[in-house]
Amino acid sequence: MGQFDHINDAPNLPFSQRPIIILGAGIIGCATARQLLLNGFPVILVAEYLPGDQDIRYASAWAGAAWHSAGGITADQRYFQAITHRILLKMAQEDPESGVAIVDTREYLEQAPGPNSAIWGRSVVSKFRELKPGEFPPNFNCAWAYETLVTDPTLHMPYLRKQINALGGHFIQKRVESLEELYKMFPESSIFINASGIGSKVLSDVKDENCFAERGQNVFYRTDKCDTMYFRNGKEYTYVIPRPMSKGVVLGGVKQQDNLSPDVDMDIARDEITRAHRLAPGIVPENPPEDTLSYIIGIRPSRKGGFRLDSEQIGARTVVSAYGFGGGGYAFSYGIAHEVVKMVEKAERENVIEE
Ligand SMILES: Cc1cc2nc3c(=O)[nH]c(=O)nc-3n(C[C@H](O)[C@H](O)[C@H](O)COP(=O)(O)OP(=O)(O)OC[C@H]3O[C@@H](n4cnc5c(N)ncnc54)[C@H](O)[C@@H]3O)c2cc1C
């Protein structure tokens, strides 16, 4: 008999003691854990990789990570991004340990913004203004300046780990092969949150075929000129994301579907430096010295049709799915956490009333 075989399907710990179980300790799992703990729920996170770990499949260790409004998203999704901005701004203003910083931005557009473009973000960022011709390179259609937020993941993930521990959350480092394995580990829990990123492609009882790996490779260039972000918006996908607290800028980018190589592709790296130099010649020289360069490789947990965020009843349990955030997990994170808390509150309310 297994350790938990004597326990039947229904949760049997009182409401206030039964932990919410989160699979995954990336930015989505950790932001959700923090928010649940702040709302008074006991929380346990189970994950193969924890804040501070480095593996290319652990996307949250490698992100840029800039807050940039996404185009082509729904009104609800815009609001998730807006909530994230509000929470990150407070961290930037009050808590330098968070690794979140306010930076100037120059965004250059190859074409005038179409319907449902990223321009909705002007109501969220600070000091938004359209640049006048002459203020931006002549090969662009238009340009914007504003203040936004950048998150240094090398500081933010350990900061979140510390916060979660201080709020009474627990981490268990473990790989599981299915959600079923988690139900067996925690028979007393009724709510499980799947924040496993690209893991949802292979978990045996999830196997979401819409999930796909999208490799990113960036150049980190060490420099003191690290307080302005440059973003090229159009057919060419180029950014210079400052990381003021690590004294450097992240140059990118590239998206390679289903490529899982952990090795630096020097052709890509050279191309990124060339593009970044064209975009921000005042920051990135044409040939930066080799000893100022290092390389970042990570797999974005992308999903055809966009991310999954829903709550479903599976037997006696509620399973909340929050994965597939591709290249925008940081910009969505705290808004998603906020929404997941609402789903958890609703499910636990129903559990309590039925009891
Ligand atoms: C180069 C690069 C640049 C980026 N730039 C930006 C940016 O500028 N702005 C932005 O918003 N986003 C950016 N992103 C995207 C961002 O990094 C991701 O969207 C985000 O990190 C996804 O977070 P997550 O928590 O869903 O997944 P992850 O961080 O991948 O975490 C998944 C977690 O689930 C665990 N897990 C998975 N399967 C299992 C299993 N079977 N058993 C146990 N544990 C499991 C993992 O161990 C891990 O803890 C970038 C990404 C890359 C690669």
CA of 217 to the centre of ligand 1 (A): 14
Q: Is residue 98 part of a domain?
A: no
Any ligand 1 atom below 6 A from CB of 175: yes
Q: Is residue 144 part of a domain?
A: no
Any ligand 1 atom below 6 A from CB of 328: yes
Report whether the peptide linkage leading into residue 253 is cis, meaning its omega lies within 30 degrees of zero.
yes
Containing structural domain, residue 354:
1-65+152-210+304-355
CA of 71 to the centre of ligand 1 (A): 20
Q: Is residue 167 part of a domain?
A: yes
* Residue 47 DSSP SS3: strand
Any ligand 1 atom below 6 A from CB of 231: no
- 266-294 pLDDT tens trace: 999 999 999 999 999 999 999 999 999 99
C-alpha distances out from residue 49 to 46, 110, 163, 196, Å: 9, 39, 17, 10
As annotated, the binding site includes 176, 239, 300, 327
CA of 297 to the centre of ligand 1 (A): 12
- 213-267 pLDDT tens trace: 999 999 999 999 999 999 998 889 899 999 999 999 999 999 999 899 999 999 9
Q: Is residue 133 part of a domain?
A: no
As annotated, the binding site for FAD includes 176
CA of 196 to the centre of ligand 1 (A): 8
Any ligand 1 atom below 6 A from CB of 29: yes
DSSP E strand stretches across 198-258: 211-222, 228-233, 238-243, 248-252, 256-257
Q: Is residue 8 part of a domain?
A: yes
The domain that contains 333 carries what CATH number? 3.40.50.720
Q: Is residue 355 part of a domain?
A: yes
Q: Is residue 256 part of a domain?
A: no
Q: Helix crossing, 27-38 with 329-354: angle to 10°?
A: 50
What's the CA gap between 114 and 117, in Å, rounded?
Answer: 6
- 305-334 pLDDT tens trace: 999 999 999 988 999 999 999 999 999 999
The pTM for the full model equals: 0.95
Q: Are 223 and 98 in contact (CB under 8 A)?
A: no
DSSP E strand stretches across 226-330: 228-233, 238-243, 248-252, 256-257, 293-303, 308-314, 317-323
Backbone φ, ψ for residue 349 (5° rounding): -60, -45
Q: Helix crossing, 153-166 with 27-38: angle to 10°?
A: 30
Q: Is residue 116 part of a domain?
A: no
pLDDT at 2: 45
pLDDT at 293: 98
If you ran DSSP here, which 8-state letter would residue 339 be given?
Answer: H
* Overall number of domains in the chain: 1
Residue 355 has pLDDT above 80, yes or no: no
Q: Are 47 and 194 in contact (CB under 8 A)?
A: no
Which of 22, 238, 299, 325 for a ligand 1 pocket mutation test, highest count of atoms within 8 Å of Cβ?
325
Any ligand 1 atom below 6 A from CB of 195: yes
Residue 166 has pLDDT above 80, yes or no: yes
Any ligand 1 atom below 6 A from CB of 196: yes
